Structure 1
Amino acid sequence: MSDSPAGTRLVPYARLPRGHHDRTVLDSTVDADGRAHWLLGEARPRGAEREPYDAVVVTVGDGRPYETHLSALTARFPHLAALPDGGFLVADSRSREGDEQVRVFDALGRPSWTFRVGDAIEHLLTDAAGDLWVGYFDEGVYGDDPLSAPGLRHWSGTGESVWAYQPAGGADWISDCYALNVSGHTAWACTYTGFPLLEIGAGHAIRVRKNPVQGVKGLAVHGDRAVLFGGYGEDHDRLVDCRLTDTAVRPVTEGRLLGPGGGRLGRRRLVCRGPRLYVQERPGTEWTVLDIG
């Protein structure tokens, strides 16, 4: 983490090897151990019919980069997640009842099983045990899919429902899961409409902290410190450094999150893991990081 008078600069973290830049980045993520993964294909699968296609996952951060080839994918809006045994899963953000949109692959890229986690996936993160934490956007919460209605759910790696959010501690129902952070056995979320900071700990006990920062899209947490990122309009790259009490989020300072070169951020992909906020701007070939740990 390096600071400048104009704001806080991200630090380069992981790059997709140049030999793969001719392929389309379908999705990318950073796993619980800090490895970066890119799901690459020939073109984005956006047709109405889900024609199967092949893809390759390129992994950086565990020795030399390596590839895992996947086949017969059908996700039009794919979310990639890495499993602790070296395998992967690919989920389609949109799905209908009876459509098993999650496909699991072993470490050799061989398909293992499929299951369904609901429509309108906004965030999908695996934890160190290989379980899935899924946050949903409003079209799923207010649609006709009961799996998405809670707004935030915890699934096993084989598709069993482990936990679903219900209002607690004065927090309302979730209308949209704006931000999700998964680290160890804890998940953190900022949710619309009121943007409380939800901490889901051991046994899925929920601690709710009132939060005055609206429009939060990403967050990093370390001890009693939280850094909240994002907002509406001109606040899209806002960075708010906060302290946590038992019941509230207390903003301390506010600035901007900048690219490694000091420029303003454009459209980006976020992954939040404990004290780290990973940011990937277009064209999606590099991950940068803000580490408050």
Structure 2
Amino acid sequence: MQKTALVPYAQLPRAHHNRHVLTSTVDVFGTAHWLLADRAPQPGDAARPFDALVVSVDPNGSAELTELSAVRARWPHLDRLPDGGFVVAASRARQHEDGDQVQVFDALGRETSSFCVGDAIEHLLVDEAGHIWVGHFDENPVGIRRWSATGQLTWTSDNAHIPGLFDCYALNVSGIVAWACPYTDFPLVEIRPDRTDRPVRVWANNVVAGAHAVAVHGERVAFHGGYSGQQDRLAHGKITETSVEPTGVGLLTLRDGSAPGRRRVVGRGSRIYVQAEPFTAWGVFDLSS
């Protein structure tokens, strides 16, 4: 089976390797971010806000530091807003009944607002306009929603006629467009909420089931991941009028050809970013290359 190696993309500066990586992501403009704490979360920590550090590395390798005050999420999602601020969200809402599940910080690290988007966050990605896209997993099967940075719901997959949307396995946000591949039917879904004539398009997926990341470039699609034993799969397809048809399958590996093991994945347009343990470096696969 053909192997495709990830291309090295961004590194956490070595000076910060002594801190615990709470989470990491790559934003819509291609900058990588790490949310760091002095130590890993401990039992009993849930009610104790803490200060955290965001280390941002842009595509040119320049690093920027932002200190965030009184972060409440212990197992968070992170993304950057176009104005330089950050969104930090707890994946579970049970301990955030006061509406502080999502915290929004300005560019100086000061909290400006907080709100709740619902339990069981699988993906949280900010688009170029500053909308916050949230995909949920099946313990809260509300699908996909788009929020403003002040907590206003601006789009929901309710009544969008997306078949079998119980768990948002894969979500890709690029520009102001979202692509998804949800459980149970795993269709390819394009979402353009600001388009009045056809905001949602759905294609039957004849390529794979269980992918956790998707990349799209023109009529070409790549699905990464799968069920047990298929987490390294990279399946290619072509978008037709009503379906996505298979064109090839291989493996996505680290630069040395080995499997990533535990990893994070982020889909952005034609790119799938992968971060393997110990979560200090991002690699990238670009479908447009």
TM bucket, shorter chain: over 0.9
1:92-111 C-alpha deviation (Å, 9 max, x unpaired): 11113443211111111111
Q: What residue is the counterpart of 2:157 in the other structure?
A: 165
Q: What percent of counterpart residues are identical? A: 52
Q: Is the 2:137–2:166 Cα contact (8 Å) retained in structure 1?
A: yes
Q: What residue is the counterpart of 2:41 in the other structure?
A: 45
* RMSD across aligned positions (CA): 1.5
Q: What is the distance in 1 between the residues matched to 2:220 and 2:242?
A: 13
1:221-245 C-alpha deviation (Å, 9 max, x unpaired): 0000000111111111111111101
Q: What is the distance in 1 between the residues matched to 2:245 and 2:11?
A: 35
The yes-or-no answer on 1:230 pairing with 2:225 is yes
Q: What residue is the counterpart of 1:128 in the other structure?
A: 128
Q: What residue is the counterpart of 2:91 in the other structure?
A: 93
Q: Superposed, which structure 2 residues align to 1:1-293 within 5 Å?
A: 6-48=2-44, 49-61=46-58, 64-96=62-94, 97-141=97-141, 150-168=142-160, 171-203=162-194, 205-212=199-206, 213-293=208-288
| TM-score (normalised: structure 1) | 0.92
Q: What is the distance in 2 between the residues matched to 1:99 and 1:45?
A: 21
Q: CA deviation at 1:33?
A: 0.6
For structure 2, list consecutive stretches of 5 or more residues without a partner in the other structure.
none
Q: Is the 2:133–2:144 Cα contact (8 Å) retained in structure 1?
A: yes
Q: What is the distance in 2 between the residues matched to 1:62 and 1:15?
A: 10
Q: Is the 2:124–2:135 Cα contact (8 Å) retained in structure 1?
A: yes
1:231-264 C-alpha deviation (Å, 9 max, x unpaired): 1111111111111012101110011111111111
1:270-289 C-alpha deviation (Å, 9 max, x unpaired): 11000010000011000000
Do the aligned partners of residues 7 and 80 (structure 1) sit closer, same or farther apart at CA in structure 2, a change above 3 Å counting?
same
Q: What is the distance in 2 between the residues matched to 1:31 and 1:154?
A: 16
Q: CA deviation at 1:16?
A: 0.2
Q: Which has the higher helix share?
A: 1
Q: What is the distance in 2 between the residues matched to 1:24 and 1:211?
A: 39
SS at match of 2:205: coil
Q: CA deviation at 1:6?
A: 4.1
Do the aligned partners of residues 47 and 246 (structure 1) sit closer, same or farther apart at CA in structure 2, a change above 3 Å counting?
farther
1:150-190 C-alpha deviation (Å, 9 max, x unpaired): 21101111110001103545x42411100000011210000
Q: What is the distance in 2 between the residues matched to 1:100 and 1:46?
A: 20
Moved more, 259-268 or 283-292: 259-268
Q: What is the distance in 2 between the residues matched to 1:260 and 1:73?
A: 35
Q: What is the distance in 2 between the residues matched to 1:62 and 1:228?
A: 24
For structure 1, list consecutive stretches of 5 or more residues without a partner in the other structure.
142-149
Q: What is the distance in 2 between the residues matched to 1:247 and 1:130?
A: 31
Q: Is the 1:167–1:173 Cα contact (8 Å) retained in structure 2?
A: no
Q: Is the 1:46–1:77 Cα contact (8 Å) retained in structure 2?
A: no
Q: Is the 2:163–2:187 Cα contact (8 Å) retained in structure 1?
A: no
Q: Is the 1:56–1:69 Cα contact (8 Å) retained in structure 2?
A: yes
Q: What is the distance in 2 between the residues matched to 1:29 and 1:236?
A: 19
Q: Is the 1:168–1:206 Cα contact (8 Å) retained in structure 2?
A: yes
SS at match of 2:230: helix
| TM-score (normalised: structure 2) | 0.93
Q: Is the 2:99–2:114 Cα contact (8 Å) retained in structure 1?
A: no
Do the aligned partners of residues 38 and 175 (structure 1) sit closer, same or farther apart at CA in structure 2, a change above 3 Å counting?
same
